[in-house]
Amino acid sequence: MGAGLGIPLICALVYVVWFPHGNAGRSAWFATKIWILVYPLFFFGLIGLGGLVRREDRPAIWPSWAVVIGTGLLTGICISLIGCLMVITPVGEIVKANSHNLVEKAEGLGFATRGRFLMVATFITILHSAMEEYYWRWFIYGHLRQMVGHWPGHLIAAVAFTGHHLVLMSVLFPLPLALFLSFLVGLGGLIWTLMYEWQGTVLGCWLSHLVVDAFIMIVGFRLIMHGAG
């Protein structure tokens, strides 16, 4: 479990801090995505497919699929609306003032052009959000609650989910803002583990995550295209 919690953070340090430009950074970025996808496969025999292709294999009164889908979309929309409100506050102004850092990172990883950014944004919004729910909620939280209990599992999973985001935020924004935004990421991770526990499936978490990532990609697109231009 230590590898599962720590490898994404280490890879983030490689492609964000130590080698933010060139092939080393891009390779570490891709390696992180491969790790997230492949590492849990070694545990399918222990965990099974409950939570992924069906409800979890535990006794519970599950909400209907309509509630799962509706809750996922609604929480994603609510989180995104809060983000929209933050854009028009001083937080939004600080983000805009530091957008050159975002442009630099996008150029270093090779997706600062319109076409490449849209490809990466589509991947992150649809596929990467699903991969993160599969990894952080189904696999990491699913293991942690068996090892340390439900609430410690919720908190540890949220902190671990925050780690690689904090690395990125710390090089994009002043430290107080980076800590604040990372706290919001951790809060989002906690909301999604609670949803997973309640619903017994990653579907609702994924839909919520997808909507939030779509909002973030729209903001990122505007900042990068304006800064690169």
pLDDT tens column, 144-165: 999 999 999 999 999 999 999 9
Residue 71 is part of which domain span? 2-228
Q: Do residues 228 and 112 touch, judged by C-beta distance below 8 A?
A: yes
Least confident of 26-40, 87-101, 106-120: 106-120
Kind and range of the H or E run holding 179: helix 175-199
Least confident of 13-27, 63-77, 198-212: 13-27
pTM of this structure: 0.93
Mean pLDDT for the chain?
92
Q: Return the C-alpha torsion angle 189, 119, 164, 54, nearest 10.
A: 40
In Å, what is the CA distance from 57 to each residue of 18, 50, 197? Answer: 42, 5, 12
Give, as one character, the DSSP assignment of residue 127. I
Least confident of 26-35, 80-89, 136-145, 152-161: 26-35
- Closest by CA to 118, choosing from 195, 221, 189, is 221
Which residues are 50's β-sheet partners? 54
CA distance 185 to 179: 10
| Average of per-residue pLDDT across 96-118 | 86
Q: Do residues 212 and 188 touch, judged by C-beta distance below 8 A?
A: yes
CA distance 174 to 223: 17
- Closest by CA to 6, choosing from 170, 178, 164, 158, is 164
**65-87 helix and 175-199 helix, angle to the nearest 10 degrees:** 170
Tally Cβ neighbours within 10 Å of residue 223.
19
How many domains does the chain fold into? 1
CA distance 132 to 189: 10
